[in-house]
Structure 1
Amino acid sequence: MKIERIYLLFYGISFISAHVNAFDPITTTLAVGIGATLGSIFKYFQEHCSSKWISFNSTGLEVDLENKLFGQHIASRIISKAVNGFMNNDNPKKPLVLSLHGWTGTGKNFVSKMIAENIYKEGMHSSFVHVFTSELHFPHASQIEIYKSQLQQWIKGNVTNCAQSMFIFDEMDKMHPGLIDSIKPYLDYYDKLDGVSYRKAIFIFLSNAGGESIIQTALDFWKAGRDREEIGLSDVETALSLSVFNNKKSGLWHTSLIDKNLVDFFVPFLPLEYKHVVQCALAEMEARDLEPDMSIADQVARDLIYFPKSERVFSVTGCKTIISKLDYYV
């Protein structure tokens, strides 16, 4: 076995090193030579920017979206077409920029994870996937100019290291307005900037901003007795982009990214209904190698808070609290 040989080499080096005399050049050279060989072997197993570690699994993404993402027919369709089109283009004109919007627990982070897992062998643990959280990485408004410079250098350095890097910005609704504009040049239609091409990178923004307009559309369809699957992108996209652009509490407030049409898709995530929460609970049981139990899934779903209060149509927290709720019942 390769791994067993590596261990043998390692212990061999340890043995040799322990018995090397400082004035024995032959033995020393032997130890150094074996050490260099072992270093090369370990380097082989380290993640690097190549097709061995970065390879798009189109079928895998389709299966994940169909079987694991519940109640999001619009988002599923957009993500599938956008990512497939981008990853199958050997010479994209600009980076792929997706802005995912909706209330908490509707699947925004989940979809980001799906995309990463079907592009990078190491998924979200890949050294080429970078996650920024507003309150953690950019907490102080007084330091916004420092953050701008740091963000630019971080993106430039990582794309220089690997053109097919992915950047996920969580909590965009909590980001200081103006900060995200600092990376505008990297999202534009440039061949190269200072010798670096950003065209194969992926940028994903996650935000609760615009969630109200999405919910209102879903409520309007429900009140009219129309099926939620009838809701199309055209029914929410314009109102969503305007809501985000004009929301002073949004990190995309009056941003040039929207003004210059650099966001490829505004992806709406609809509020989840009772049946979707049940599906989430059953899926979580299956993920834990438990026998799916409809009675438990039903109990978990019934424990959540829904709105409007009288009709209890949409879950306030979506599927976000399913894991902790399930821990209580299982």
Structure 2
Amino acid sequence: MDTRLLHNDPQGIEAAATILRAGGLVAFGTETVYGLGADARNDRAVAAIYTAKGRPGINPLISHFVSADAAFEQVAASPLARRLAARFWPGPLTLVLPRAEECAISTIATAGLPTAGVRVPAGATTQALLAACGFPVVAPSANPSGRVSPSDAQHVLAGLDGRIDAVLDCGPCRVGVESTIVDLSGERPVLLRPGGITLEALEDACGAPLVTPAGSNDINPSAPGQLSSHYAPGLPVRLDADTVASDEALLAFGSELPGSPLVWNLSRTADLHEAAARLFAGLRFLDMEGRRRGLVRIAVQHVPGHGLGRAIRDRLIRAASPRP
């Protein structure tokens, strides 16, 4: 299969929508990362995503919609869900809610769970693509399962060229980490994955603390991003480094530690928004160039755990976990 690179223009958007209508796979950029899209109603198309990514079938997918009204046709929306949607959609927030009785989302996409993850992504191109399709589009990160998420079109091609139909080049992703996932299917809201909307902003909108379970779920995840090993480069990752060796690449934050021959600084001014946007590109660069130079690992300077730092640290911890 030859993977087409489509331009970010009306012709490219229509070509991408045509492929999705026919049951094909198209990667496209959102405000978070590039997603690998398929018609969420089409069992065969959804199954093809799992095959292309090598993704475990127990790991559910998020469905993307052009509007909150369209999303809430597929799930049972609580008053809190509607309040969060009004505040944060379009944007990097996914809500996990009970499937509606007439839910059209494939049960393959929801891993057989009674819930579904839904979101309305931001970005003019993404919105135009979803409007052209007229149906929900599932779109996990467009990379081989467990590896570093893609934040531009070339990252997608590096991992999936020849395995998917097309990539719609939407330029670099603005947020750079995946959406925050909140489970609203129980009595209390639960933070399943930190992401582009901070915990502090969510708790302010909810008017109460969220449940924040610790650890991972490798057996029966209820949402993406819960597996212990995820977002992993080829080189091992060492966290919270206060020194760096001459055979290590350095993922820096703020003032750089001396001693590494290869450095990517997430933000020299210690800006967490800049750091999030540069995280996955930095891991990819250090991994590729570090292996080429014969380096043995990636050392990571400390990133604080507040605001967007919570999402950055979550990705780094999973990147550093033992590989299955």
Q: TM-score, normalised by structure 2?
A: 0.25
Larger radius of gyration: 1
Q: TM-score, normalised by structure 1?
A: 0.25
Normalized per residue, which structure has more strand?
2
